[in-house]
Structure 1
Amino acid sequence: MRRLILMRHAKSDWSHGTSDHDRPLNRRGRRAAEALGNWLRSEGLVPDAVLCSTAARTRETCALLDLPESSTVDHLQQLYLAEPEKIISNLRQRAKGDTVLLVAHNPGIAAAAAVLLRQTPDQDAFDRYPSGATTVMDFDIDDWADLAPGTGALRAFTVPKQLV
């Protein structure tokens, strides 16, 4: 079995006047990322590996999750504003370990979650996939290369508003 955690970066700060790629989190986003990290640990959802977009807001979200050093982190330019097909392709090629966290952007991350799940959660928040939205799903596979659409079993879904 393999477990996948798909997370949209926490709320970013538009007031800095930086490029989209360099935009950091705002105060609410930093609190949300910390709450998501606490939730992951309390639920026993600590990843073996993390695939993260190179954007500042995804990197900051990932850092504020306060994951153990044993969780290896790969920052991938290919995940910056990636379409769902690119997200799934990167998982098939680069994911390692039993539990993988992928931190990226909408609309690609929301679409990837919907494509991979057998059945999506009956929650309005899943349809919106707001900042910090996180879906946890299990796959009955031995190798990430075998990841296929419509085969993920929903384990959990949360948004920062439920945690903060």
Structure 2
Amino acid sequence: MKTLTLLRHAKSGWDDAVARDFDRPLNPKGRRAAQTMGRELRRLGLSFDHVVASPAVRVEQTIDGIESGYARALSPAYDRRVYLASAGSLLDVVRETNDECAHLLLIGHNPGLEDLVLLLAPDEPGTLRDDVEEKYPTATLAEMTFAVDRWAEVKERAGTLTRFIRPRDLDPELGPSDD
């Protein structure tokens, strides 16, 4: 059994004058959401054998916030391929994971993460997949399990989506707003 957890970076700021999208930082709401999600990871008792993350500034800052709430280090392996990656590219990263790893955490961006969940989860009405199809907000976590022994065996529509946790599920103030 393999478990894949996908975490979208927290809300970034568009007000900062940065030259590249890669350098966009989190805004205050994003920092708060990252810490909230970190506390939820701790409350759920989740642990990860390996963490792969985009090296973008907003992902690094999301990890800082997660670690603060989680009260432990994630020690990610930063992989440039995860930055704004398609579902197919993310699936390549997943399939390349060492099989000693039972629980992989992948931290990155949309639309790639959302598309990856939709690619891997069966299209069955009345499941968590419906929520993913509606919207995969910033700082949201999706967890999937696969009845395989090797990451290379992860196939389309073969995952079980076991969790989909949005920051607003934990704190309504972290939900959509006009800002």
TM-score normalised to structure 2 length: 0.84
Deviation at 1:62, TM superposition (A): 1.7
Distance 1:150 1:125, change over 3 A: closer
Q: Which residue of 2 aligns with 1:80?
A: 83
TM-score normalised to structure 1 length: 0.91
Seq. identity, %? 34
Distance 1:82 1:92, change over 3 A: same
Q: Residues 138-153 of structure 1 correspond to what in structure 2 (within 5 A)?
A: 138-153=145-160
| Distance in 2, Cα, partners of 1:9 & 1:162 | 16
Deviation at 1:63, TM superposition (A): 2.3
- Alignment length, in residue pairs? 163
| Distance in 2, Cα, partners of 1:5 & 1:159 | 13
Q: In the alignment, is residue 54 of structure 1 matched against residue 55 of structure 2?
A: yes
| Distance in 1, Cα, partners of 2:130 & 2:34 | 21
Q: In the alignment, is residue 103 of structure 1 matched against residue 97 of structure 2?
A: no
| Distance in 2, Cα, partners of 1:62 & 1:107 | 19
Q: Which residue of 2 aligns with 1:159?
A: 166
| Distance in 1, Cα, partners of 2:157 & 2:109 | 21
Q: Which residue of 2 aligns with 1:41?
A: 42
Deviation at 1:75, TM superposition (A): 0.5
Deviation at 1:132, TM superposition (A): 1.2
| Distance in 1, Cα, partners of 2:157 & 2:129 | 16
Question: SS at 1:137's partner residue?
Answer: strand
Q: Which residue of 2 aligns with 1:23?
A: 24
Query: 2:110 is aligned with what amino acid?
Result: N
User: Where does structure 1 differ by over 6 angstroms across 4 or more consecutive aligned residues?
Assistant: none
Is contact 2:114-2:132 (8 Å) kept? no
Query: Which structure features the higher share of strand residues?
Result: 1
Highest Rg: 1 or 2? Answer: 2
- For structure 2, the 5+ residue unaligned runs are 172-179
Of 59-68 and 123-132, more deviation after overlay is shown by: 123-132
Distance 1:123 1:163, change over 3 A: farther
Q: Which residue of 1 aligns with 2:2?
A: 2
Of 22-31 and 60-69, more deviation after overlay is shown by: 60-69
Query: 1:50 is aligned with what amino acid?
Result: V
Deviation at 1:38, TM superposition (A): 1.1
Q: Which residue of 2 aligns with 1:116?
A: 120
| Distance in 2, Cα, partners of 1:45 & 1:7 | 13
Question: SS at 2:52's partner residue?
Answer: strand
- For structure 1, the 5+ residue unaligned runs are none
| Distance in 2, Cα, partners of 1:72 & 1:132 | 18
